Amino acid sequence: MAEVTLERGSIVPKNLLKHWTPATVLMICVVLAFFDKISIAVLFSDPTFQETMGAAENKSRLGWLMTSFLLSYGFSSVFLSFLGDIFSPKKLIFWSVLSWGILMIIMGFTTSYKWMFINRILLGIAEGPLFALCYSIVKLCYSDREQARASTMFILGTPIGASLGFPITAYVLAHYDWHTTFFVMGALTLVATVLVHFGLKGVEVSGRQKKAVKTDHKENLRTLMSNKAFWLVCFFNIALMTYLWGLNSWIPTYLMEEKGFNLKEFGTLSMIPFIGMLIGEIGGALFSDRFTVRRAPQVFIGLLGAGIAMYLMVLVTSNVMVITMMTISSMMWGICVSAVFALLSRVSEKEVATTAGGIFNGLANFASAIVPVLIAYIVMATGDFDTGIIFLALVAIVGSLILVPLIRRY
């Protein structure tokens, strides 16, 4: 296959379609993973699901279904992602995706809170290493000047998954029942295993690289642990993920119970903010790769703007303004997240890419796991849903300040 030489001596395939296929497949995996993560949030407002789960009078039980997933997800991401530095990340992703589909189908047959809770924990363990494995494959396949775009391609699975997952789940729920929503998501996830098998062919770590990684991994890990810039980015990511999980766990219920949206309106309008997030991620990635080598300023401004717009969303009253503020907030979050993995790459070494990605992603998800149930308790204690959303906005605004020491250098 013909190749072209670019600046700094880098080589990229002339066949752009083939070149970007791995990133596209990773994006599809994240889309399906996000379906699995957030589809249950739509069910939080379904009376039949609430009654089956014994949560009609106790919202904290619903919050724990999301929190249990996030705790196991964060634990798995921190403590299992290192496997991607030692074994084939491609094979690990394949078996991971297969297990998600099986678990979603099992959840469709589940009729007790206890087993739904257990299955959500298992799903979190299975999905935990995904972002770290995606990050590792991006480091293997793409040059430094391509990594914001390649990382953003799989990160795009977040808004795409939410923009499609919420209305698809709402549609299935409106026309069938909550059991069927799990069966649909499970079937879609199982189809993704075929795409992983064929789309990631040729993505492999050489035997020599594996041997070197195994030999030097302890030393590289020791260096990573003493990297102050790496830890600042990790702590920043806690605020970033707190925003995301608060948004995806309670925004459907918030819009319907506090702002007066009905299920049909929510299913139709819920796509708009996540389309804004998608636009923010694409625009942010193109800007980050083409016009700047410093990623920290963009990441800082993005989360700060997301928090301010979310606070304004609480203050407005009309449905049009609520969706507008939520869209601006989501778009700013997208601008932020489009460069955050490229920033992580700047502050960490390639030899521990998957470990760094696992700690980065896992620590944030583990620490933010309490947010869904914490918001439930805030709402029950104050009797005001707005208070829970204001809490998310403040976390984003204060969390953005963590990056201030890195703005001038990174």
State the pLDDT at residue 5: 40
Contacts of 332 by beta carbon, 8 Å cutoff, 6+ apart: 280, 301, 302, 303, 304, 305, 306, 309
State the pLDDT at residue 247: 81
Contacts of 90 by beta carbon, 8 Å cutoff, 6+ apart: 137, 196, 200, 203, 204
The number of beta carbons lying within 10 Å of the beta carbon of residue 136 is 28
| Mutual angle of helices 89-109 and 178-199, in 10-degree steps | 160
Instruction: Tell me the Cα Rg of the chain.
Output: 20
* Both structure tokens of 366: 């583990």
pLDDT tens digits for the chain (410 residues)? 334 444 444 444 457 777 788 888 899 998 988 887 777 888 887 889 988 888 877 778 888 888 888 888 878 877 777 676 677 778 888 899 999 999 999 999 998 999 999 999 999 999 888 887 887 788 777 776 776 678 778 877 877 887 788 888 888 998 899 999 999 999 999 888 988 888 887 666 544 445 544 545 566 667 777 788 999 999 999 999 999 888 877 877 788 778 877 766 666 777 788 888 889 988 888 887 776 668 899 999 999 999 999 999 999 988 889 889 999 999 999 999 888 888 888 887 766 666 777 788 778 877 887 888 888 888 888 888 889 899 999 999 999 999 999 998 88
State the pLDDT at residue 123: 94
State the pLDDT at residue 212: 46
Contacts of 45 by beta carbon, 8 Å cutoff, 6+ apart: 252, 253, 256, 257, 263
- C-alpha 97/C-alpha 95 separation (Å) is 6
* Both structure tokens of 253: 């219920």
State the pLDDT at residue 79: 79
- The answer to whether 356 touches 224, Cβ cutoff 8 Å, is yes
User: What is the 3 state secondary structure string of the chain?
Assistant: CCEEECHHHCEEECCHHHHCHHHHHHHHHHHHHHHHHHHHHHHCCCHHHHHHCCCCCCHHHHHHHHHHHHHHHHHHHHHHCCHHHHCCHHHHHHHHHHHHHHHHHHHHHCCCHHHHHHHHHHHHHHHCCHHHHHHHHHHHHCCHHHHHHHHHHHHCHHHHHHHHHHHHHHHHHHHCCHHHHHHHHHHHHHHHHHHHHHHCCCCCCCHHHHHHHHHHHHHHHHHHHCCHHHHHHHHHHHHHHHHHHHHHHHHHHHHHHCCCCCHHHHHHHCHHHHHHHHHHHHHHHHHHHHHCCCCHHHHHHHHHHHHHHHHHHHHCCCHHHHHHHHHHHHHHHHHHHHHHHHHHHHHCCHHHHHHHHHHHHHHHHHHHCCHHHHHHHHHHHHCCHHHHHHHHHHHHHHHHHHHHHHCCCC
Burial, 353: exposed, middle or buried (Cβ in 10 Å; 0-12, 13-18, 19+)? buried
State the pLDDT at residue 409: 86
- C-alpha 378/C-alpha 385 separation (Å) is 8
State the pLDDT at residue 332: 95
- 5: phi then psi, degrees, rounded to nearest 5: -90, 130
State the pLDDT at residue 353: 67
